[in-house]
Structure 1
Amino acid sequence: MSLLSNFSTAISCRKLPVFDPVNRSTHRQFRVSCSNVHLSDKCKREYTSVLIVPTGVGASIGGYAGDALPVARTLASVVDCLISHPNVLNAAMLYWPMPNVLYVEGYALDRFAEGLWALRPVHQNKVGLVLDAGIEEELRIRHLQVVDATRASLGLPVLEYVVTDRPLEVEKWVDPKNGRATGRIKHPDSLLRAVQSLCDRSMVNAVAVVARFPDDDIDDVDDYRQGKGIDLLAGVEAIISHLVVKNFRIPCAHSPALLPPPLTKSLCPKSAAEELGYTFLPCVLAGLANAPQYLAYKSEFQEKGCIVANDVDSVILPADACGGDGVLAFANKRTKPLIICVQENETVLNDTPDKLGIDVVKVSNYWEAIGVVAAHKAGIDPNSLRRDKIKNISTVSLLPSNSSVVSSPRTFA
């Protein structure tokens, strides 16, 4: 009786008016609503995944202009909460709002994985903008017009901007040891003073930085536009945002200021998002508008709604990029999340799980990775979806290790 009663509360039938275009009349039709079908899901905690594609390493997927965003969108439709970083979620003039995705800068993501920081989701941040004094006037005006457009058309909370007191003078190069893009800014103190000014004067709690980057050699631009090689800007972009997050513990992302490249008729779709305008700023502002805040004190970790590293259920990343601080921290946790390595997403790195002694699930591509996540979220051993991957259960001996009795697989009739 109670079962039928519960079932009846989960399904309601309503007789709704429906217009018949043939007979030009209205009749009533039953429609069934199953609004509480997933009521039992409330007994489970939310499933959280982390999606990582390191920046500046020539990743086959995620090494260009937001080409890992489709992966993030698909994964976000499967999990309850997805944590990722600007290199995955930024696509220059393009972006995609996903309410269950947390936009976390790379340095903060590493500290989160290490259990040193927690994430506190927000409804809205107060965003400030730092412009490099080295940006030419016309290019600066273009960026400010983009900011006003996002404020007026998207309602983004960008409060104020400040220009650095001297040009930052960005330099970029490829590290000959590992092939990664890297670089430096000659005047980091100028950047820090600008951010401090915004925090003090406007009380902002998220910062977008636009630095003038040296224009690329045409050969390097052509390689990137053809979907080859590495993003030469990405390495020093990460250095800039890491500097701000480390010193101020607030969300930060960077957008380079560059002169538009000459038109080309031959362009790889993976790089095309960066050809749409004069700036890459829209995706950065959209991401920072509701990026989670970073909590560094253990006493704050108990705040309602905060997310800590132990809440993470799975981590997805390229198979040869397992050497980062965040990945190693997740791999060494006592309650280790499921780590899924995607072999199709190759980078210039050679930090494989076998080389590092990390226990992972290896998959060929992101199709398989998302299938593994779906099974894991459902509480199903992903191996049970494969042919002959479930072996006979083994027994563990309770006798001392020097006993002649050893554990052996148990077989069934």
Structure 2
Amino acid sequence: MAITAFQTHRCRPFLPLSTKSQPSTSPRVSCCASHLSSKCRREYTSVMIVPTGVGAAIGGFAGDALPVARALSSVVDCLITHPNVLNAAMLYWPMPNVLYVEGYALDRFAEGSWALHPVHQNKVGLVLDNGIEEELQIRHLQVADATRASLGLPVVEYIVTDTPLEVEKWVDPKSGQSTGRIKRPDSLLRAVQTLVNRSQVNAIAVVARFPDDDVEDVGDYRQGMGIDILAGVEAVISHLVVKEFQIPCAHAPAMQPLPLIPSLCPKSAAEEIGYTFLPCALAGLSRAPQYLVKNSHYSEKGCILASDVDSILLPVDACGGDGALAFARSKQNKPLIITVEENETVLNSTPDKLGINTVMVSNYWEAIGVIAAHKAGIDPHSLRRNRIGNIRCTSHAPANGFEVLSVSSRT
């Protein structure tokens, strides 16, 4: 996460369980983002989650949740989100206070077993599926070279897997989510291991050859409806790499372009304006935070912990993921959880069914207003009509057994 004139990232040591605490240093603070104000405050950190491959009304298409992330990043000091929110195929938007965190890593972060360590730059390695045709492979290598020459991205080396990965994708008939598998995960892991050993890369972009879709199968998606049938297995691929190597990873599918249609939904258009989906993944990985695993043999300063998170933003029916549940069950510095009614998915994990207390809002406009109030130390309900009632009176029993009534502020 970059440091600007008005913000610096929070510094807090993330020590293994067996390591004795080191003498603390003076905490870094950030100053209010105003040319006229020099008041200092603690950074405000928010997490935005839109699960992958669940047909989210916002975030279920080609980077259509990116405008939400852009708006939210202008309100918070640090925004943590995942590739499904930030990736838009050929399009992306650089935001210095946004951390690009793969979904499996985000779950481990929420559980408190991993920390996030912001970096200035990663060495990115590129893995290409042996099953990609020569011409399509060349297209992807040209994209990598273009990002190196035109954007200065540190994509240092590529490797082709020793066998085709053989991607399979389908929609789970029970949940309605897209999912899938690769038949040769061993080939992918060998390729990543080679890049890590030979070139010391610390971030990985994977391009796997996906089966070409029939036009009828993606008709609804191209019209802004239905489910992204690629997204589920893309998550399977990146989860595999992150779980094995504990480094940032993102995936881009390799496919032949679909036939041109004039009536394409804008939400799906980003995936149809080029030969590859790779540029956004390379841009995100170049500055993605590193993952620090608890009980590791080293300690790092400048990391972000789950207890640093102030608020979570979720679709209303997508509260059952590992990360969402971990934040909801947190016992230390429990964050404010905000659920958005307008962003519906095929899931049915609502707060009431899970026993989770959330602030329910109609849309992302309201969500960003709630977060702005929360950051300012204001009860969000005080911004609504007739939402603040009279202060309540409570009672307690002291050690001597006599009940003492507290004095109400009303006289």
Q: Distance in 1 between matches of 2:292 and 2:58?
A: 31
| Corresponding residue of 2:232 | 235
Q: Secondary structure at the match of 1:374?
A: helix
User: Which sits farther off after the overlay, 300-309 or 77-86?
Assistant: 300-309
Q: Which residue, 81, 102, 109 being the options, matches 1:105?
A: 102
Q: Secondary structure at the match of 2:365?
A: helix
Q: Distance in 2 between matches of 1:256 and 1:333?
A: 36
Report the CA distance shift for 1:380/1:300 in structure 2 as closer, same or farther (over 3 A).
farther
Q: Secondary structure at the match of 1:172?
A: strand
Instruction: Write the deviation string for residues 247-304 of structure 1: whole angstroms up to 9, x where unpaired.
Output: 0000000000000000000100000000111000000000000100000025789633
The normalised TM-score by structure 1 is: 0.88
- Report matched runs for 1:132-143 at 5 Å: 132-143=129-140
Residues 227 and 270 in structure 1, CA contact (< 8 A), matched pair in contact too: yes
For CA contacts below 8 A with separation 6 or more, give which structure has more relative contact order: 2
| Corresponding residue of 1:385 | 383
Q: CA deviation at 1:384?
A: 0.5
* Counterpart residue identity of residue 254, structure 1: H
- Report matched runs for 1:223-372 at 5 Å: 223-298=220-295, 303-334=300-331, 335-372=333-370
Q: Secondary structure at the match of 2:217?
A: helix
Q: Secondary structure at the match of 2:371?
A: helix
Q: CA deviation at 1:37?
A: 2.3
Q: Distance in 1 between matches of 2:227 and 2:45?
A: 30
Q: Distance in 2 between matches of 1:50 and 1:188?
A: 30
Q: Distance in 2 between matches of 1:180 and 1:205?
A: 31
Residue 371 of structure 2 is aligned to residue 373 of structure 1:
yes
Q: Secondary structure at the match of 2:389?
A: coil
Q: Distance in 1 between matches of 2:384 and 2:299?
A: 40
Consecutive unaligned residues of structure 2, counting only runs of 5 or more, are: 1-32
Percent identity over paired residues: 76
Q: Distance in 1 between matches of 2:306 and 2:338?
A: 17
Residue 29 of structure 2 is aligned to residue 38 of structure 1:
no
Report the CA distance shift for 1:404/1:354 in structure 2 as closer, same or farther (over 3 A).
farther
Q: Distance in 2 between matches of 1:35 and 1:369?
A: 23
Report the CA distance shift for 1:299/1:189 in structure 2 as closer, same or farther (over 3 A).
closer
Residues 49 and 83 in structure 1, CA contact (< 8 A), matched pair in contact too: yes
Residues 313 and 340 in structure 2, CA contact (< 8 A), matched pair in contact too: yes
Residues 394 and 407 in structure 1, CA contact (< 8 A), matched pair in contact too: no
Q: CA deviation at 1:339?
A: 0.3
Report the CA distance shift for 1:300/1:109 in structure 2 as closer, same or farther (over 3 A).
farther
User: Which sits farther off after the overlay, 297-306 or 368-377?
Assistant: 297-306
Q: Distance in 2 between matches of 1:193 and 1:324?
A: 30
| Corresponding residue of 1:169 | 166
Residues 321 and 350 in structure 1, CA contact (< 8 A), matched pair in contact too: yes
| Corresponding residue of 1:85 | 82
| Corresponding residue of 1:29 | none
The total of aligned residue pairs comes to 377
Q: CA deviation at 1:405?
A: 6.9
Report the CA distance shift for 1:300/1:62 in structure 2 as closer, same or farther (over 3 A).
farther
Residues 396 and 405 in structure 2, CA contact (< 8 A), matched pair in contact too: no
Residues 125 and 156 in structure 2, CA contact (< 8 A), matched pair in contact too: yes
Q: Distance in 1 between matches of 2:353 and 2:214?
A: 36
Q: Distance in 1 between matches of 2:34 and 2:70?
A: 24
Residues 163 and 194 in structure 1, CA contact (< 8 A), matched pair in contact too: yes
Report the CA distance shift for 1:406/1:323 in structure 2 as closer, same or farther (over 3 A).
farther
Q: How well do the aligned residues superpose, as a CA RMSD in angstroms?
A: 1.9
The normalised TM-score by structure 2 is: 0.89
Q: Secondary structure at the match of 2:339?
A: strand
Residues 227 and 271 in structure 1, CA contact (< 8 A), matched pair in contact too: yes
Q: Distance in 1 between matches of 2:297 and 2:392?
A: 43
Q: Distance in 1 between matches of 2:190 and 2:295?
A: 28
| Corresponding residue of 1:25 | none
Q: Secondary structure at the match of 2:241?
A: helix
Residue 92 of structure 2 is aligned to residue 95 of structure 1:
yes
* Counterpart residue identity of residue 116, structure 2: L
Residues 208 and 288 in structure 1, CA contact (< 8 A), matched pair in contact too: yes
| Corresponding residue of 2:200 | 203
* Counterpart residue identity of residue 181, structure 1: S
Q: Distance in 2 between matches of 1:219 and 1:129?
A: 32
Instruction: Write the deviation string for residues 121-164 of structure 1: whole angstroms up to 9, x where unpaired.
Output: 00000000000000000000000011100000000000000000
Q: CA deviation at 1:406?
A: 10
Q: Distance in 1 between matches of 2:233 and 2:406?
A: 54
Q: CA deviation at 1:38?
A: 2.4
Q: Distance in 2 between matches of 1:193 and 1:101?
A: 31
Residues 254 and 276 in structure 2, CA contact (< 8 A), matched pair in contact too: yes
